Amino acid sequence: MNANQPQTQQVLSQKEVLEQLSRPFEDHEIEWKIENVIQNYYGKTQYQGIGFGYIDARAIQRRLNEVCGLNWSSSYQAHLLDQVILFECTIGIYVNNEWIYRTDGVELEIGGIERGKSAYSNALKRAAVHFGIGHFLYELDTVYIDIYQNDKTDEKQNCPSNADKYVSGNFKVNGNKVSIKGKYVTPKYSEIIKKQNNKKSKQGNTSQQQQKPPSNPQRLPQTQNRVTTSNKQQRNHSNSSGPTPGEYRNMVNCIFECFARLGITPENAHHLYSYVDSHVYERIDEAPFEVLQALFAMLNPIKLLLELGESTFKLDQATMFNYASHLLNEPIQKISHLFNKLDKKGLNIIFDRIRKDQRDQQQDYA
């Protein structure tokens, strides 16, 4: 018998092995951490954390032992690349009389804070995902976690008794550095996925209802960024063909930054959907990715107009509106007058005009 051949043969097919490995873990096996913080416009706490779920190395090893018995192996290699060490893990699974290998790794900076133990664990986690272990976490929508700050009396009083995790550190919120120290309740995957599935079911029913012609249809204004959300075109952000959860979270955060700069509160943002979609959503993170893209495309040029106008050209909001009025040949007196009227091309035209005017002024004073 070959020395590399396990003595006990696998009784599961490759498909069955993958299905068993990729099963969701129990709530107590999933760890959570907060890496990003946003302003909380919907709840009682001032800030919310963006929760990231992960599986630790021991849970991965238990899953491999449970499904594969002794018929799996792991090996590690380190490669020096300039000032970076590439630390790789290879997991092998013996099934149907052959070894199947998957490899992935992490980069370590020479002299950095990450050391051997964490490198082994992180490389193992990455390689395990190739066999489906922990992949269910990538299919979650954005997980928002209320943070109860220790120095806020009202939030101390509202802090639930089951808040069992701590968060402490400096975070960038709406462009500002904020120090946060507090507690939060550990999310439960079973509850999150149940709510997510219920939301998808409701959205599916809404889409089917939207396909039926209304008895008294009202024409919505035609806009350049409008998108439709029919069953054929709507794509939920957890779909494998759509954006990754990270891309979706980044888009939500970008829109929140636009809201903060333009003085728009998310709870009062319902009217914005009429500019880009035919459906109104209760929360920004409930909208499909295409709707968020259209909303960001509408708001970001206005945000840049005001930000760069102030920081680069030292002009106030009224002056920037005046330049926009000349460009669009209509009076612009408030932010909403620019919705779906100012795009990147128009923004560049305004900035070129400002530069020309400022150069002409300098020449006059010379």
- Among the ranges given (35-44, 59-68, 129-138, 335-344), the one the predictor scored with the smallest mean pLDDT: 35-44
* Statement to judge: residues 233 and 357 lie in one domain: yes
Residue 255 vs residues 181, 207, 297, 354: alpha-carbon distances, Å: 25, 24, 10, 27
Characterise 196 by phi-psi region: left (phi > 0), alpha (psi -120 to 50), beta (else). Answer: alpha
Domain count, the chain: 2
For residue 209, tell me if it sits in a domain: no
* Residue at a domain's end among 87, 118, 147: 147
DSSP, res 287: S
b (16+ CB within 10 A) / e for 149-170: beebeebeeebeeebebebeee
For residue 190, tell me if it sits in a domain: no
Is the Cβ–Cβ distance between 47 and 147 less than 8 Å? yes
Beta-carbon count within 10 A of 49 CB: 26
Tell how strand 30-39 and strand 47-55 pair up: antiparallel
Q: Which residues contact residue 54 at a Cβ distance below 8 angstroms, ignoring those fewer than 6 apart?
A: 30, 31, 32, 33, 125, 134, 137
Shortest CA distance to 6 belongs to which of 92, 127, 130, 104? 92
For residue 309, tell me if it sits in a domain: yes
For residue 293, tell me if it sits in a domain: yes
pLDDT at 231 over 90: no
- Residue 233: the pLDDT is 39
For residue 183, tell me if it sits in a domain: no
| Residue 306 CA to its chain's centroid (Å) | 26
Give the model's confidence band at 18: pLDDT under 50 very low, under 70 low, under 90 confident, else very high.
very high
* Statement to judge: residues 126 and 248 lie in one domain: no
DSSP 81-112: ETTEEEEEEEEEEEETTEEEEEEEEEEEETT-
Cα-based torsion angle of the residue sequence 266, 268, 272, 278 in order, rounded to the nearest 10 degrees: 100
What mean pLDDT is reported for the chain?
Answer: 82
Radius of gyration of the chain (CA): 26
Domain of residue 349 covers 224-361
Shortest CA distance to 227 belongs to which of 162, 276, 289? 276
Mean pLDDT of 200-217: 58
Share of the chain above pLDDT 90, in %: 37
- Amino acid letter for position 337: H
Give the model's confidence band at 241: pLDDT under 50 very low, under 70 low, under 90 confident, else very high.
low
For residue 230, tell me if it sits in a domain: yes
* Statement to judge: residues 143 and 228 lie in one domain: no
* Statement to judge: residues 255 and 343 lie in one domain: yes
Spatial separation of the C-alpha atoms in residues 186 and 178, rounded to whole Å: 22
Q: Which residue has the higher pLDDT, 284 or 238?
A: 284
Q: What is the pLDDT of residues 156-200, one digit of tens each?
A: 888 999 999 999 999 888 667 899 999 999 999 999 999 888 877
Q: What is the SS3 assignment for 184?
A: strand
Is the Cβ–Cβ distance between 285 and 245 less than 8 Å? no
Mean pLDDT of 134-157: 88
- Residue 217: the pLDDT is 42
Q: Which residue has the higher pLDDT, 323 or 117?
A: 323
